[in-house]
Amino acid sequence: MAKLNENFLNLKKNYLFIEIGKRVKNYAEQNPDKPLIRMGIGDVTQPLAPIVVEAMKKACDEMAVKETFRGYEDSGAGYEFLRKAISEYYKSFGVDVSADIIRISDGAKSDCGNIVDIFGHGNTVLITDPAYPVYVDTNIMNGNKVIFADSNEENGFAAMPDENVKADLIYLCSPNNPTGSVYTKEQLEKWVAYALKNKAIIIYDTAYEAFISDPSIPRSIYAIDGAKKCAIEIASLSKKAGFTGVRCGYTVVPEELMVYAEDGSAHSVAQLWGRRQGSKFNGVSYPVQRGAEAVFTEEGLKQTNQAIEYYMENAKIMRETFDKLGIKYTGGHNSPYIWFKAPNNMDSWELFDYLIENIQVVGTPGAGFGKNGDGWFRLTAFGSKENTIEAMKRLEKLFS
Amino acid sequence: MAKLNENFLNLKKNYLFIEIGKRVKNYAEQNPDKPLIRMGIGDVTQPLAPIVVEAMKKACDEMAVKETFRGYEDSGAGYEFLRKAISEYYKSFGVDVSADIIRISDGAKSDCGNIVDIFGHGNTVLITDPAYPVYVDTNIMNGNKVIFADSNEENGFAAMPDENVKADLIYLCSPNNPTGSVYTKEQLEKWVAYALKNKAIIIYDTAYEAFISDPSIPRSIYAIDGAKKCAIEIASLSKKAGFTGVRCGYTVVPEELMVYAEDGSAHSVAQLWGRRQGSKFNGVSYPVQRGAEAVFTEEGLKQTNQAIEYYMENAKIMRETFDKLGIKYTGGHNSPYIWFKAPNNMDSWELFDYLIENIQVVGTPGAGFGKNGDGWFRLTAFGSKENTIEAMKRLEKLFS
C-alpha cells in the first residue's frame, strides 16, 4: 500500500497566494464593473529588456541548425558563459564569487525548496518571522524542526541572532520579502559570527538585491568576511530582470562550506548539492541561459535597471502617501515592497477585505507571512505608475 | 551544527555518466588524433523542428512588449494551451487524459526525482534492474527501501510482477532505458492488476513513447483499464522533439489516484503533488511552453517525426550489424536503444574500454544500470547516420 509523506499533513491548508486568488476571484465575479488594482503578488509588469529578447531569439535560431544545436549541458551546473558573467557581476560590486561555485537553476524558489534535500532531519531550522512562506513549507514537508526569530516593529523588522538559541540552518532574506527591510553590513556580520560559532549554515536569499541603491548595504552575504565558510546564497533574475515567466536563478555554494555527519566527519556542501542536482535536475533551457547572460552585459544592466528605476519611482509615490498619512511602514528604500501597519487596529485579513471592498486595491495580508505579520500589510511597487498613483489617491482619501 | 542528510553517504560515488565522461576525456587527451564516435549518453543530435523554433521566437517577442508580457503563470501547472494540446495528443492514440490532470515541468528527470518527496519512508520501492539510475539514486537520497525486479536475458529484459513480493511504489519504463525492451498490453495489464491488488502506485516513465511504431504496443499506461487508479505517468519532450537542451516534460496524476496515511485515510496524490510543486517550483519558461505546444500540432508532429525516423534508420543499421554478427540484443524496434550482450564473456566496463581502445566507439556499460546489466552494453541511435555506419563497420570488423 502506497504511503504518503505524513509531513504534508502538517502544512497549513492553503498557500497564501491561493487564498488571495480565491478572494480576488470572488470579488471580481460579483463586481465585474469595479476593476481591481493588484498590488499583491510580487509579479513584475515591465517587459523584458530588448537585449535579452534578442539573445534568446538568437539562441532559438542556433537550436534550429544541426551545427549549433545544443542538447544536454554536460555539467548540469549551467553554461560557463553565464556563470562567468555572474562572477563578473559580483566583481562589479566588490565581491569575489568565482564561476565554478555558481550553479544555474530555473529559479530561486526551486533552489530554496530543493536545497532542503541535502540536510538531515536532525537540524534546527531558524526562520525569521515574517518570511517568504516557501522557507517554512519546504522544511515542514521534509519533517524538519522549525523555530522562528522575531522580526517586528521594535527591531525594524530585521531579526537578529539570539546567543541563547541554537540553530543549525538559518534563512535570511535581504532586502526582505515581505517587509522591505534591509540588513546593514554590521547586522550581517553578527549573523555570520553567530553561524561560524555554531557551525550553522545561512541560506541567504538575495532575490531583491538589484533594488539596493545605497552603496553601504551589502548586495551579497559574501561581502561579509567569513561568509564563505557559513553561507549559501540563492539569487534570482525574476525581479532583477523581469524573469518571473522566463525562469532563471542561481545558487552559490562556496568550496569551503561544510556540513557534518553524525560521526563528526565534514562533508562538502557543494558536492552534496551537485549530487542532488545531478540526479534530480537537468539544467536550464539554453535560450534562457543566453537571455540571462545578456542581462549581465553592460548594456543589459543598463536596460534592466530602467525597469528597476520605474518600480522604485512607484515605491517613492507610495512612501510619500504613507508619510503624509503618518502610517508606519518599512521598505520602499532599496526594496520594491512597502510593509505598513494596518490602520485602526485592523488585522491583516480584515484590511485585505476592507481595501478590496472600499478602494478595489489588492495587497497581501502580513499574517500570511507569519505571526509577526499580523496587523501589517504588504504592497508592491511592481504595478504601473498610473495604477500606483490611483491606488495611493484612493488610499489617502480612505484613511485621511 | 549543520547536519547532512546521511542518506547521501549511501549513494555510489560516481554517477554513471560522470565516470564515462572521465574515461572518455582521458582517452581523448591522450589520443588527440583518434576522434571518438559517441554512442553513449542518450542525447539527441538533430536540431529542433522549424515550427518549434518559430513558436519560441514569437513568444520571446511577446515578452518584449508590455501588453503581451507574461510573468508568473497563475496555476504553476503549466499553461492551459499546452495542457490541452497534450490531452489532444493522448486522444490521437485513443487514450483519455484530460488537460486538468497534466502538470508541465522542466523535464522528466526533475519530476522523477521530485515526486519522491510526497511519499513516506515506509514504502517499499520496486525498481526493475537494469534501470535509469535516477530511480534508484533519488530513492536512496530519500532514505527509502529499494528492492529490485530482475530484467534479464530469460525474460527479454522485461521484468514481471512476483506475487510473493510486496511493493508499494513501482518504477516502470517502456520503451525501456537502457534495454530498449517494450511492454506489451498483456504485460502491462499484469502490472496494473498487481498494483491494484496491493494498492501500490506505478510510476510509469514514457520518455521514449514517440519511438513506438507498432500500434499494438501501448504508448501510455492509461491505455490499460484501471491504470488511473494506480499509476502516475511521467513524460518528456527530450527525445520526442529534441528538447534535451530546451527542457520540458509533463506528469499525469489522475484524480482517482490515492495514497494512504498511517491511520488508513486516503489522500489525493494530485493534491499532494500540486502542493509540492506549488512550494518548490514556479513553472516552465513561457517561450519553452509555446515551443512545446507547437510540437503537438499536426505540422509539429510531422516535423518532429522526421528526426525520429532518422534515428530509427540508425537503429536499423545497428540491428543489421548485430544480426549479421549473431550477437544477442534487445531494442532497436520501437526504441532508440540497442542493448547487446558483450562478446567473449567480457564484462561491461571491459567492453567499454575495449571499444574505445580498438575502434574509438563510446557506448554505455550495462553494469552502470544495475547488476543484471553486467555483461551487457547500450548503444544509442541518436548519432548521425554517417557515424552510425562507420561505427558499425568497425564493430563488424572487430568481432568477425
Q: Looking at residue B17, what is its pLDDT? A: 79
Strands (E), chain A: 37-38, 102-105, 124-129, 145-150, 169-173, 201-205, 231-236, 249-252, 258-260, 266-268, 329-331, 337-341, 361-362, 364-365, 376-380
The string of pLDDT tens digits covering residues A128-139 is 999 999 999 999
Average pLDDT over residues A44-62: 98
Average pLDDT over residues B106-116: 97
Average pLDDT over residues B87-104: 98
Interface residue A349 vs chain B (CB under 8 A): no
Closest-CA distance, B300 to chain A, in angstroms, reads 14
Cell of B251: 506528469
H/E run at residue B132: none
* CB nearest B279 (choices: A134, A262, A281): A134
Q: Do B47 and A69 touch (CB under 8 A)?
A: yes
CA distance linking residue A381 with residue A316, whole number of Å: 9
CA distance linking residue A332 with residue A318, whole number of Å: 8
Give A381's pLDDT tier (boundaries 50, 70, 90): very high
> Peptide bond preceding B175: is omega within 30 degrees of 0, i.e. cis?
yes
Q: Looking at residue A27, what is its pLDDT? A: 96
Is the four-CA dihedral B163, B167, B172, B176 of positive or negative sign? negative
Q: Do B109 and A281 touch (CB under 8 A)?
A: yes
Q: What is the largest CA-CA distance in chain B?
A: 66
Residues of A in contact with B21 (CB under 8 A): 74
The string of pLDDT tens digits covering residues B286-296 is 999 999 999 99
* CB nearest B53 (choices: A47, A64, A123): A64
H/E run at residue A253: none
Average pLDDT over residues A229-256: 98
* CB nearest A4 (choices: B1, B120, B287): B120
Q: B-contacting residues of A 182-241, CB under 8 Å?
A: 198-201
Closest-CA distance, A344 to chain B, in angstroms, reads 33
CA distance linking residue B347 with residue B366, whole number of Å: 9
Tell me the one-letter amino acid at B258: M
CA distance linking residue B255 with residue B270, whole number of Å: 6
B168: CB partners within 8 A, 6+ apart: A1, A2, A3, B122, B123, B124, B125, B198, B199, B200, B201
C-alpha Rg value of chain B to the nearest Å: 21
The string of pLDDT tens digits covering residues B362-400 is 999 999 999 999 999 999 999 999 999 999 999 999 999
Interface residue B133 vs chain A (CB under 8 A): yes
> Taking the domain A15-47+300-399, which CATH number applies?
3.90.1150.10
Mean pLDDT, chain B, whole residue set: 96
Average pLDDT over residues A138-165: 97
Q: Do A106 and B106 touch (CB under 8 A)?
A: yes
The dihedrals phi and psi of B308, each to the nearest 5 degrees, come to: -65, -40
Give B236's pLDDT tier (boundaries 50, 70, 90): very high
Q: Is the pLDDT of residue A18 over 90?
A: no
Interface residue B274 vs chain A (CB under 8 A): no
Residues of B in contact with A73 (CB under 8 A): 245
Q: Where in chain B is the domain with CATH 3.40.640.10?
A: 50-296
CA angle A30, A33, A37 (to 5 degrees): 90
Closest-CA distance, B17 to chain A, in angstroms, reads 10
Interface residue A266 vs chain B (CB under 8 A): no
A104: CB partners within 8 A, 6+ apart: A77, A78, A79, A82, A83, A248, A249, A250, A283, A284, A289, A292
Long-range contacts of B318-324 (CB under 8 A, 24+ apart): B318/B379, B318/B381, B318/B388, B318/B392, B320/B392, B321/B392, B321/B395, B321/B396, B324/B396
Q: Looking at residue A377, what is its pLDDT? A: 98
* CB nearest B72 (choices: A65, A245, A284): A245
Q: Where in chain A is the domain with CATH 3.40.640.10?
A: 50-297
The helices-and-strands tally (H runs, E runs) of chain B is 12, 15
Is the four-CA dihedral B299, B301, B305, B307 of positive or negative sign? positive
The answer, as to whether pTM is greater than 0.90, is yes
Q: Do A53 and B61 touch (CB under 8 A)?
A: yes
Output the DSSP codes for B312-338: HHHHHHHHHHHHHHT--EEESSSSSEE
CATH 3.40.50.720 is right for the domain spanning B50-296: no
CA angle A9, B143, B267 (to 5 degrees): 25
Q: Is the pLDDT of residue A295 over 90?
A: yes
Q: Where in chain B is the domain with CATH 3.90.1150.10?
A: 14-43+300-399
* CB nearest B245 (choices: A11, A70, A200): A70
Interface residue B325 vs chain A (CB under 8 A): no
CA distance linking residue A209 with residue A217, whole number of Å: 10
CA angle A240, A241, A246 (to 5 degrees): 120
Q: Where in chain A is the domain with CATH 3.90.1150.10?
A: 15-47+300-399
H/E run at residue B24: helix B16-30
Task: Give the number of A-B residue pairs with CB atoms closer than 8 Å.
Answer: 272
The string of pLDDT tens digits covering residues B284-323 is 999 999 999 999 999 999 999 999 999 999 999 999 999 9
> Taking the domain A50-297, which CATH number applies?
3.40.640.10
CA distance linking residue A317 with residue B132, whole number of Å: 56
Q: Looking at residue A14, what is its pLDDT? A: 65
Residue A138, CA atoms < 13 Å, CB-side half-sphere: 24
B358: CB partners within 8 A, 6+ apart: B398
Residue of B166, B280, B286, B382 to mutate for A, most A C-beta atoms under 10 A: B280
CA distance linking residue A332 with residue A382, whole number of Å: 12
Interface residue B141 vs chain A (CB under 8 A): yes
CA distance linking residue A393 with residue A367, whole number of Å: 25
Q: Do A69 and B169 touch (CB under 8 A)?
A: no
Interface residue B74 vs chain A (CB under 8 A): yes
Residue of B247, B258, B273 to mutate for A, most A C-beta atoms under 10 A: B247
> Peptide bond preceding B35: is omega within 30 degrees of 0, i.e. cis?
no
Closest-CA distance, A286 to chain B, in angstroms, reads 6
The string of pLDDT tens digits covering residues B141-200 is 999 999 999 999 999 999 999 999 999 999 999 999 999 999 999 999 999 999 999 999
The helices-and-strands tally (H runs, E runs) of chain A is 12, 15
Other Cβ atoms less than 10 A from the Cβ of B155: the count is 14
Q: Do B8 and A118 touch (CB under 8 A)?
A: yes
Average pLDDT over residues B60-88: 96
Q: Looking at residue B7, what is its pLDDT? A: 96
Query: Would you tell me the crossing angle of helices A16-30 and A348-359 to the nearest 10 degrees?
Result: 30
Average pLDDT over residues B70-92: 96
Q: Do A110 and B282 touch (CB under 8 A)?
A: yes
Give B14's pLDDT tier (boundaries 50, 70, 90): low
CA distance linking residue A290 with residue B246, whole number of Å: 12
**At the topology level of CATH, where does B14-43+300-399 sit?**
Aspartate Aminotransferase, domain 1 (3.90.1150)
DSSP conformational letter for A111: H
Residue A370, CA atoms < 13 Å, CB-side half-sphere: 23
